[in-house]
Amino acid sequence: MSIASTDLSPDRLKLQGLARELAQGPVAARAAEVDATEQYPWDHVERLKEAKLLGLTIPKQYGGQGRDWLDAVLVIEQLSAACSVTGRIAVETNMGAISAVMAYGSEAQKKLAADMVLAGDKPAICITEPEAGSDAGGMTTRADRVGNGFVLNGTKHWITGGGVSRLHLIFAKVYDRDGNEEGIGGFLAIRDETKGLKIVKREPTMGLRGIPEAEIAFEDMELLPDALVIPPRGLKKGFADLMNAYNSQRVGAATVALGIAEGAYAHALEWSEKREQFGRPINEFQGLQWKLADMSIRLAAAQGLVYKAALSGTGGFPDMLMAAQAKVFTSENAIAVVNDALQFFGARGYSRNLPLERMARDVRMFTIGGGTAEVLRNVVASSILKKKLPQTRDGWGKE
Ligand SMILES: Cc1cc2nc3c(=O)[nH]c(=O)nc-3n(C[C@H](O)[C@H](O)[C@H](O)COP(=O)(O)OP(=O)(O)OC[C@H]3O[C@@H](n4cnc5c(N)ncnc54)[C@H](O)[C@@H]3O)c2cc1C
């Protein structure tokens, strides 16, 4: 299948071709098994490493390839069409936590994070808490300044990669020695090398089962001063830095949803020619032709938004408005496209023998994780109205 693509340079087409070959070969071959066994696909990580598809966006001086967000998007899109878990690994080794460290970290932190990612580690980003989801600023995990360093206490949940990731970027409210809040800061910690970092449990998820979602507790976790990557810088700034870096992750999440939907569409298109009923291929029925037409329109529009959002970040981070628009539109339309694709297969689509039911479970996540569709609509509204829109009752009407 080929969605009408924008003008991609020969270099980008080559990269896309490399990812497609890997995706449609060994990655696709193991996608069902990864889902069924719920095992993290370390073999896919190795293949990404060998193909130099890990750390594409990491600057060359740290061993990466210094590529831009669109390059990463092209790779993630191909991988996700075959195996969404592998697509997500490509997101988190190119965007989110690693990008935050590369933008805000010290030389030593950048080197550490780049080396770990290039060796195959998918960093975990720890923001969400049981009582602070969409309202991430309401987090209660605290980092108290003690001596020269920090002591962290709190619980995060739904942390992607919890239990397989080694590098963790943890967000917490920082308190000075007198107990005054300084704002939200971001800290680096390495699992198994940091006492007090505990993987509490794994969530039983609907889809994306090859990658663990875990609850993680920090119990009197001591960190040295050089663990601080994003300083609190007043009450709002650390959080703003986090959200800035998170725009790349949002574009990445939108890309995985796009890739899954493109993969499902390709299956439906092929099957619609093969499957005959009433003596003719089912794609000769207008009801299904219009479905195919609508699917292709949704995908082309989503791809345009995703690529545009990715390009908006060249030399920095993707634009917040474009990233939010891309994620809302793509996640919702990808769910619709996968659902329609499954319908083409009739009963077979409902079987675990075909990838459609897996894709339907996997794609459902993308209106939730990384900012829900509702919260991202708030971001879009806030941006177009150029007004802050406080969500708390006591904040209503305040600056
Ligand atoms: C598979 C998966 C992976 C994830 N990975 C990570 C990760 O690696 N790291 C991490 O930190 N977090 C992660 N998350 C958590 C994710 O970011 C949160 O689930 C998300 O921010 C929503 O928070 P919540 O689940 O607490 O929902 P809630 O905030 O409780 O929201 C419940 C409902 O209320 C709506 N709502 C809430 N506030 C508003 C508002 N102001 N306006 C309109 N509607 C509103 C929401 O849209 C939603 O429909 C992951 C989640 C999933 C499902």
Confidence at residue 238, expressed as pLDDT on a 0 to 100 scale: 74
Indicate the top mutation candidate among 126, 158, 250 to test ligand 1's pocket, ranked by most ligand atoms within 8 A of CB: 158
Q: Which atom of ligand 1 lies closest to the CA of 135?
A: 29
The C-alpha atoms of residue 139 and residue 74 are separated, in whole angstroms, by: 34
Within 8 A by CB and 6+ apart from 191, the residues are: 165, 166, 167, 168, 197, 199
The C-alpha atoms of residue 338 and residue 103 are separated, in whole angstroms, by: 35
The secondary structure of the chain in percent helix, strand, coil, rounded to multiples of 5, reads: 55, 15, 30
Rg, Å, the chain Cα set: 21
Helices (DSSP H) in the chain: which residue ranges?
10-22, 28-37, 42-50, 69-82, 84-92, 97-104, 107-118, 234-274, 286-312, 320-344, 356-363, 373-385
What's the gap in Å between 126 CA and the centre of ligand 1? 13
Written as tens digits, the pLDDT of the chain (399 aa) is 444 466 799 999 999 999 999 999 999 999 999 999 999 999 999 999 999 999 999 999 999 999 999 999 999 999 999 999 999 999 999 999 999 999 999 999 999 999 999 999 999 999 999 999 999 999 999 999 999 999 999 999 999 999 999 999 999 999 999 999 999 999 999 999 999 999 999 999 999 999 999 999 999 999 999 999 999 986 667 778 888 888 999 999 999 999 999 999 999 999 999 999 999 999 999 999 999 999 999 999 999 999 999 999 999 999 999 999 999 999 999 999 999 999 999 999 999 999 999 999 999 999 999 999 999 999 999 999 998 777 777 765 444
Query: How many C-beta atoms surround the C-beta of residue 143 within 10 A?
Result: 28
The DSSP bridge partners found for residue 223 are: 150
Cβ-in-10-Å burial (0-12, 13-18, 19+) of 20 comes to middle
Confidence at residue 79, expressed as pLDDT on a 0 to 100 scale: 98
Query: How many C-beta atoms surround the C-beta of residue 275 within 10 A?
Result: 15
Q: Which atom of ligand 1 lies closest to the CA of 161?
A: 8
Query: How many C-beta atoms surround the C-beta of residue 237 within 10 A?
Result: 15
The C-alpha atoms of residue 92 and residue 121 are separated, in whole angstroms, by: 9
Cβ-in-10-Å burial (0-12, 13-18, 19+) of 64 comes to buried
Residues with CB under 6 A from ligand 1: 125-128, 133-134, 158-160, 208, 213, 365, 368-372, 374-375, 378, 391
What's the gap in Å between 372 CA and the centre of ligand 1? 6
Let me know: does 22 contact 47? Beta carbons within 8 Å: yes
Confidence at residue 4, expressed as pLDDT on a 0 to 100 scale: 47
The C-alpha atoms of residue 268 and residue 381 are separated, in whole angstroms, by: 35
What's the gap in Å between 391 CA and the centre of ligand 1? 15
What is the distance in angstroms between the CA of the first residue and the CA of the last residue of the chain? 50
CA angle 48, 364, 283 (to 5 degrees): 90
Closest by CA to 129, choosing from 92, 151, 96, 159, is 159
Confidence at residue 398, expressed as pLDDT on a 0 to 100 scale: 43
The DSSP bridge partners found for residue 190 are: 167
Reduced to 3 states (helix: H, G, I; strand: E, B; else coil), residue 386 is: coil
Confidence at residue 234, expressed as pLDDT on a 0 to 100 scale: 65
Reduced to 3 states (helix: H, G, I; strand: E, B; else coil), residue 183 is: strand
What's the gap in Å between 215 CA and the centre of ligand 1? 14
Q: How crowded is the C-beta side of 61, counted as CA atoms within 13 Å? A: 4
Q: Which backbone phi and psi does 103 adopt, to 5 degrees?
A: -85, -40
What's the gap in Å between 196 CA and the centre of ligand 1? 26
What's the gap in Å between 134 CA and the centre of ligand 1? 5
Confidence at residue 239, expressed as pLDDT on a 0 to 100 scale: 78
